[in-house]
Structure 1
Amino acid sequence: MNQNRDFYAGLVATAFFAIVLFVLIPIYVKVPSFIPGFAPPPDMWPRVVAIIGLVMGVLAVVLAFPKMREASRNQVTGLGAHITQNKVMIGRFVSLMVLFVGFVYGMPLIGFVPATVLLLAILFVMTGNFERKFWMIALSIIFPVLLYILFTEVTHTPFPEGLLLSQSAVGTSDLVTLI
């Protein structure tokens, strides 16, 4: 087992959530100039999730240092051997980054809920544990739908619908008039 895996996972999580917190949220989450006193701003929950992820990533990096010191005392390997040992994990990481970019660019087209269902399904597949396929499928559908219901019905915060599934998209009656 690779002792540096926790360090690299924490480093990637820290970098990811730092980018989300300091770059993506300020650019893509619009905060109106006036917010009523009882309503949280639209960037509150994304910031909470990003801060928690950032703290967990930093914690993983800090807790990985004792393991790394112990591993460095026991064994010395080159970069080539390290890459060869972790081909599957490196492939999964590269695939996950490509799919996450696809999620970011595909969400405006298909909407938040379907894009999140696809992303969660892909994340479950990337874990490599296929013993509980039913739970993987059920949770990848249930979590986004419950989030959608919570935010639209309780906090009245709409999620992006997407161009293909929105009510303002071209309908069949519009297609008939176009023809």
Structure 2
Amino acid sequence: MNQNRDFYAGLVATAFFALVLFVLIPIYVKVPSFIPGFAPPPNMWPRVVAIIGLVMGISALVLSFPKMREASRKQVTGFGGSLNHHKVQIARFVGLLVLFGAFVYGAPVIGFVPATVLLLGVLFIMTGNFERKFWMFGLTIIFPVLLYLLFTEVTHTPFPEGMLFSDSTSGNVSDLVTLI
């Protein structure tokens, strides 16, 4: 495995999950002043996932330093040669950033579960490994539906429905136009 790739993957994961944990969750996940019974607050599971991702990113960063020091003794490559050698991965990374942006802006329109199905489908396609198409297709559909059922039936935490599939039809077109 490329040592710089480990470092950059850890850096991107740490930055992403730190952004989610310290910026996006406090801004977008509203916590009511009173939560009845033993129900978890709405920000509990997003915080748990973000903290686990942050710890994994930091551990990837820390574990990449010994590999990088060993590799720096062996060979030196230029920045341009490295960019040219990894142009497919760079294009996938840019596509991934565009995909996450589309997910963030598309989830309020079509709903969280359909947006997650589309996100997982495109992420599986971007891996480039098509040996297990059945598993890829199954997990793309089953995983978001199971998460939806877990949160709605067990913890009674509703997922955002989206403007296109909500029960009320008034104002959907005007809300959609103002969102775009």
What is the TM-score normalised by the length of structure 1?
0.92
Deviation string for 1:6-61 (max 9, x for gaps)? 11001000000000000000000000011124111100000000000000000000
Deviating 4+ runs (over 4 angstroms)? none
Paired residues, number = 170
State how far apart, in whole Å, the 1-side matches of 2:27 and 2:16 are: 15
Flag structure 2 segments of 5+ consecutive residues without an equivalent. Answer: 171-180
State how far apart, in whole Å, the 1-side matches of 2:9 and 2:126 are: 14
State how far apart, in whole Å, the 2-side matches of 1:54 and 1:76 are: 30
Q: 1:52 is aligned with what amino acid?
A: I
Flag structure 1 segments of 5+ consecutive residues without an equivalent. Answer: 171-179
Deviation string for 1:97-119 (max 9, x for gaps)? 00100000000000000000011
State how far apart, in whole Å, the 2-side matches of 1:92 and 1:85 are: 14
| Residue 135 (structure 2) pairs with residue 135 (structure 1) | yes
2:161 corresponding residue in structure 1: 161
Q: 2:40 is aligned with what amino acid?
A: P
C-alpha displacement of 1:145:
0.1
State how far apart, in whole Å, the 2-side matches of 1:56 and 1:6 are: 12
Q: 2:102 is aligned with what amino acid?
A: G
| Residue 15 (structure 2) pairs with residue 5 (structure 1) | no
Instruction: Compare 42-51 and 121-130 and name the one that shifted more.
Output: 121-130
2:108 corresponding residue in structure 1: 108
RMSD between aligned alpha carbons?
0.9
Q: Residues 110 and 161 of structure 2 are in contact (CA less than 8 Å); yes or no, is this contact kept in structure 1?
A: yes
What is the TM-score normalised by the length of structure 2?
0.92
1:38 corresponding residue in structure 2: 38
State how far apart, in whole Å, the 2-side matches of 1:44 and 1:27 are: 14
State how far apart, in whole Å, the 2-side matches of 1:156 and 1:35 are: 12
